[in-house]
């Protein structure tokens, strides 16, 4: 999800959408701490049918939120996966009930470091507990159960969203019929950790970070914008940057010195950094990237045993030019699932875009996912409903 | 050149070496400004023969210096290309006279932003002029001419050093017999510019940078260390980081929280950042990365015309796992030179190391370069000396 200055459409087949809030008393975290109370921000599209067997949960990546599609009633912005959701689109709202929620630890309505700590009546800041991908999923489980949904027809997401998809299939296999992990991995490599770590150090080195307790002061915008710029470069590919900017320069600075001439890619990155700090919280950046880095589904041997003969049907998608979550990581997921005799389809989509390809409108992803869902839906509902009759 | 904690050998076949200083009155820069006076720090190894036709200039990358080999008399440190230089080594000091010099704009003895501006009697800081790769080479030309050398037998260097090699062959073809550009490019891609730019913004966002005039105050160590960490990740490969760190963690912090457990790669990066700021100047980082980003040898059509039928013999080397200066950029150099009917040999070395492979001891690079030089040296001196006789 980036902050490109794109002319937003005035309308969407998904209409105007309002974020809703689900509150529950407490959540036992993987760290053994208890977070209480908990709010999860969410949005829904389409209608939950009577049997409640047409629900699909879509999980967002690091900088995403619950606002998947439609025009936000709050800020008028289009959802980050608009092109994938709606009547006749891949996540077809004429058939499916689509749910998006902001992750635990987030800063878009769900409980996170910027939420008020009921003990102190101030934002948590440095007191916010460690959050894991499992904790995020456990909060989503509560949200789904509260809606009366026993089992999701599908769950999908890219990048960190894909980690949540994997965690759902790992820890709650009975609650998932089909799963679509996109551009993701069973665990971060040292290189992936390293890029996140430099982002975190950049925030924590910013004097305005104040150890995480900056909510009554100027936030660490410098550090966060650097973190975002680093991230942004990793989300693009060498080729997509070449297409977008090449070596084009912008006009010279006031004194006409060449040094004051900037490359277009520079001002683009600066803009991305500046736009990001207006919409994102630095402590959430630290909290969520830590969750990503510590996510580890397990080693292949254990994973094969764990997934052996699973009923879940998988569609694994990678992007050929994604160098930060390279296709070999998706192939590793496919290999494990194949060894586990799972029903898995794999597709590597050849696009010049990098990691953020799954967020950029193109035909292939929608077709692959739409067909995968359609092929499985009728089989799924007939099997579920015949089970109920028995 | 990194700051790995490696046990330094107590001795070197190159013995103890002292940095020398060449001063000259002024240099007309590409920006049309005049820098005056100019100092170039340099070191030499082996002996310049009577005919002065056995000289090889080795050019350093972003963070390097004139101290190529041997034990520094100043700080006891081993040179950054020690394994390549010495009796019987690739750059054989029994045969060749090896020269290393710190680039113009540097902070290791050559005139740069931290040097005293004679106009103000204070360090240049924000007043230091823009420097280009061409300016760096023009200063090296003066150094070489001052030694009475009409023509270099060879010139070699990796990364930014390779850009200097290209610039020598482009602007001073009559002064170069053979050239070895390693892991380099005719011009930076948008991705390469972007990584440098985030490093520069990180420095310039640091309040301690003070617009570049920090020499009587605390320098921008936070910003510079982030820039270095970003750079360092790009110099390694996914594979080499995996081999070096994997997902290994270090012991938990005081409160035993998992968040306070760090991955090994994190503390390594922090160490690299901290070590770097002790030995490098932030303004030089900005000045030299700008020179790198603005370097542009030209488009292929013009380059082919320019190099047509050149007498210079080239050895182009790339590294298979170098993703920041990927082999396709070296192949582009080879293609242009082949179209120009130049004598060019290309080798891509398969190593799991990334961009910094040329700085890490391994056999192939030394063998390739040693053989290339040996094969050409006798032909070269006999042709030069027969020309002189005529």
Answer yes or no: is B182 within a domain.
Answer: yes
The pLDDT confidence band at residue A249, using thresholds 50, 70 and 90, is confident
Query: In the prediction, which pLDDT does B250 show?
Result: 72
Provide ipTM, 2 decimals.
0.92
Same domain, A206 and A66: no
Mean pLDDT of chain A: 93
Other Cβ atoms less than 10 A from the Cβ of B126: the count is 13
pLDDT tens, residue by residue, B366-379: 999 999 999 999 99
Same domain, B22 and B148: yes
Same domain, A202 and A255: yes
pLDDT tens, residue by residue, A39-53: 999 999 999 999 999
Which residue, of B291, B316, B351, is where some domain finishes? B291
> Does residue A220 carry a pLDDT above 60?
yes
Same domain, A304 and A207: no
Same domain, A173 and A132: yes
Query: In the prediction, which pLDDT does A113 show?
Result: 98
Q: Quote the CA–CA distance of A79 and A65 in Å, as a whole number.
A: 9
Query: In the prediction, which pLDDT does B247 show?
Result: 86
Catalytic residues of A: 159, 322, 355
Residue in A327, A331, A336 with CA at minimum distance from that of residue A298:
A336
Query: In the prediction, which pLDDT does B102 show?
Result: 98
Answer yes or no: is B74 within a domain.
Answer: yes
Q: Quote the CA–CA distance of B387 and B390 in Å, as a whole number.
A: 5
DSSP conformational letter for A129: P
Cβ separation A191–B290 shorter than 8 A: no
Same domain, A312 and A368: yes
Which of B194, B195, B241 is opposite residue A189, by nearest beta carbon? B241
pLDDT tens, residue by residue, A271-294: 999 999 999 999 999 999 999 999
Query: In the prediction, which pLDDT does A299 show?
Result: 95
**Residue to test with chain A: of B30, B125, B198, B265, most A Cβ within 10 A:** B198
> Does residue A82 carry a pLDDT above 80?
yes
Answer yes or no: is B9 within a domain.
Answer: no
The pLDDT confidence band at residue A254, using thresholds 50, 70 and 90, is very low
- Chain B hits for A188, CB-CB cut-off 8 Å, are 247
Q: What backbone torsions phi and psi does residue B263 show, to the nearest 5 degrees? A: -75, 150
> Does residue A61 carry a pLDDT above 80?
yes
B194 in helix, strand or coil? helix
Q: Quote the CA–CA distance of A158 and A324 in Å, as a whole number.
A: 13
Same domain, A321 and A226: no
Query: In the prediction, which pLDDT does B9 show?
Result: 62
**Residue to test with chain A: of B191, B229, B234, most A Cβ within 10 A:** B191
Same domain, B284 and B302: no
Q: Quote the CA–CA distance of A171 and A132 in Å, as a whole number.
A: 13
Q: Quote the CA–CA distance of B299 and B186 in Å, as a whole number.
A: 9
Query: In the prediction, which pLDDT does B134 show?
Result: 98
Distance of CA B6 to the CA centre of its chain: 21
Same domain, B321 and B336: yes
B219 in helix, strand or coil? coil
Question: No. of H helices and E strands in chain A?
Answer: 10, 16
Q: Kindly report the nearest CA distance between residue B282 and chain A, in angstroms.
A: 16
Q: What is the CATH number of the domain that holds B253?
A: 1.10.1740.110
> Does residue A5 carry a pLDDT above 60?
no
Answer yes or no: is A11 within a domain.
Answer: no
pLDDT tens, residue by residue, B41-92: 999 999 999 999 999 999 999 999 999 999 999 999 999 999 999 999 999 9
pLDDT tens, residue by residue, A323-349: 999 999 999 999 999 999 999 999 999
pLDDT tens, residue by residue, B246-293: 888 875 444 444 445 688 998 999 999 999 999 999 999 999 999 999
Number of compact structural domains in chain B = 2
pLDDT more than 70, % of chain A: 94
Same domain, A362 and A313: yes
Q: Quote the CA–CA distance of A357 and B369 in Å, as a whole number.
A: 41
Answer yes or no: is B211 within a domain.
Answer: yes
Residue in chain A lying closest to B260 (CA): A130
Same domain, B104 and B55: yes
Query: In the prediction, which pLDDT does A262 show?
Result: 81
Q: Kindly report the nearest CA distance between residue B36 and chain A, in angstroms.
A: 19
Residue in B105, B109, B89 with CA at minimum distance from that of residue B156:
B89
pLDDT more than 70, % of chain B: 94
Cβ separation A194–B241 shorter than 8 A: yes
Q: What is the CATH number of the domain that holds A351?
A: 3.40.50.1820
Query: In the prediction, which pLDDT does B374 show?
Result: 97
Other Cβ atoms less than 10 A from the Cβ of A33: the count is 15
Greater confidence, B389 or A216? Answer: A216
Q: Kindly report the nearest CA distance between residue B227 and chain A, in angstroms.
A: 9
> Does residue B322 carry a pLDDT above 80?
yes
pLDDT more than 90, % of chain B: 88
> Does residue B7 carry a pLDDT above 70?
no
Residue in chain B lying closest to A188 (CA): B247
Contact predicate A156/A165, CB 8 Å:
yes
Q: Quote the CA–CA distance of B293 and B259 in Å, as a whole number.
A: 37
Other Cβ atoms less than 10 A from the Cβ of A345: the count is 16
A2 in helix, strand or coil? coil
Count interface pairs A-B at CB distance under 8 A.
Answer: 133
Mean pLDDT for the stretch of residues B322-333 = 98
Tokens 């103890």 correspond to B16
Answer yes or no: is B97 within a domain.
Answer: yes
Q: Kindly report the nearest CA distance between residue A230 and chain B, in angstroms.
A: 7
Q: What backbone torsions phi and psi does residue B17 show, to the nearest 5 degrees? A: -125, 140
B189 labelled catalytic: no
The pLDDT confidence band at residue A84, using thresholds 50, 70 and 90, is very high
Q: For residue B199, give its domain range.
A: 193-291
The pLDDT confidence band at residue A251, using thresholds 50, 70 and 90, is low
In this structure, the strands spanning A152-158 and A71-72 are unpaired
Length of chain B (residues) = 390
Query: In the prediction, which pLDDT does B98 show?
Result: 98
Query: In the prediction, which pLDDT does A11 show?
Result: 83
> Would you state the structure tokens that stand for residue B43, as one six-digit string?
């070191």
- Chain B hits for A207, CB-CB cut-off 8 Å, are 207
> Would you state the structure tokens that stand for residue A130, as one six-digit string?
């460690």
Query: In the prediction, which pLDDT does B11 show?
Result: 83
- Burial class of residue A340 (count of CB atoms within 10 Å of its CB; 0-12, 13-18, 19+): middle
Query: In the prediction, which pLDDT does B255 show?
Result: 46
Same domain, A197 and A56: no
Contact predicate A274/A61, CB 8 Å:
no
- Chain A hits for B207, CB-CB cut-off 8 Å, are 207
Question: Which of these is catalytic: B63, B115, B159, B225?
Answer: B159
A122 in helix, strand or coil? strand
pLDDT tens, residue by residue, B205-258: 999 999 999 999 999 999 999 999 999 999 999 999 999 988 888 754 444 444
Q: Where are the beta strands (DSSP E) in chain B?
A: 16-17, 20-24, 27-28, 34-35, 38-45, 55-59, 71-72, 85-86, 91-92, 97-101, 116-117, 122-123, 152-158, 176-182, 313-319, 343-349
Answer yes or no: is A111 within a domain.
Answer: yes
Which of B187, B194, B237 is opposite residue A233, by nearest beta carbon? B194
The pLDDT confidence band at residue A2, using thresholds 50, 70 and 90, is low
Distance of CA B164 to the CA centre of its chain: 8
Mean pLDDT of chain B: 93
> Does residue B142 carry a pLDDT above 60?
yes
Which residue, of B235, B267, B291, is where some domain finishes? B291
B135 labelled catalytic: no
Query: In the prediction, which pLDDT does A380 show?
Result: 93
Which pTM does this prediction carry? 0.94
Answer yes or no: is B361 within a domain.
Answer: yes
Mean pLDDT for the stretch of residues B180-184 = 98
Which residue, of B291, B313, B338, is where some domain finishes? B291
Cβ separation A190–B294 shorter than 8 A: no
């Amino acid at each position: 999800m980036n902050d490109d200055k794109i002319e937003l459409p005035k309308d969407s087949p998904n209409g105007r959408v309002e974020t809703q809030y689900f509150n529950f008393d407490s959540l036992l975290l993987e760290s053994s701490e208890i977070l209480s109370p908990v709010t999860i921000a969410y949005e829904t599209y389409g209608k939950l049918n009577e049997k409640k067997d047409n629900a699909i949960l879509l999980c967002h990546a690091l900088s995403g939120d619950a606002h998947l599609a439609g025009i936000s009633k709050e800020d008028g912005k289009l959802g980050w996966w608009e092109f994938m959701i709606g009547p006749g689109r891949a996540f077809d709202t004429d058939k499916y009930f689509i749910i998006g929620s902001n992750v635990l630890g987030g800063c878009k309505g769900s409980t996170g470091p910027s939420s008020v700590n009921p003990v102190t009546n101030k934002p948590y800041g440095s007191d916010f507990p460690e959050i894991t991908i499992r904790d995020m999923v456990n909060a989503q489980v509560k949200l789904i159960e509260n809606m009366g949904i026993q089992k999701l027809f599908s769950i999908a997401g890219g990048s960190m969203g894909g980690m949540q998809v994997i965690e759902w299939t790992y820890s709650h296999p009975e609650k998932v019929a089909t799963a679509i992990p996109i551009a993701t991995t069973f665990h971060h490599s040292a290189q992936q950790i390293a890029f996140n770590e430099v982002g975190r150090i950049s925030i924590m080195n910013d004097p305005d970070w104040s150890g995480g307790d900056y909510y009554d002061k100027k936030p660490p915008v410098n550090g966060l914008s650097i973190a975002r710029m680093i991230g942004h470069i990793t989300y693009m590919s060498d080729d997509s940057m070449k297409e977008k900017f090449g070596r084009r320069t912008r006009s010279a600075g006031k004194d006409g010195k060449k040094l004051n001439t900037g490359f277009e890619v520079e001002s683009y990155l600066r803009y991305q950094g500046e736009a990001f700090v207006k919409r994102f919280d630095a402590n959430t950046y630290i909290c969520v990237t830590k969750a990503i880095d510590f996510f580890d589904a397990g080693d292949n041997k254990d994973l094969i045993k764990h997934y052996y003969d699973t009923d879940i049907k998988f569609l694994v998608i990678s992007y050929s030019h994604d160098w930060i979550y390279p296709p070999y990581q998706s192939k590793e997921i496919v290999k494990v699932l194949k060894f586990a005799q799972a029903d898995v389809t794999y597709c590597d989509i050849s696009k010049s875009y990098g990691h953020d390809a799954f967020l950029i409108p193109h035909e292939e992803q929608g077709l692959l996912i739409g067909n995968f869902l359609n092929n499985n839906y009728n089989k799924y509902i007939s099997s579920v409903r015949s089970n109920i009759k028995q």
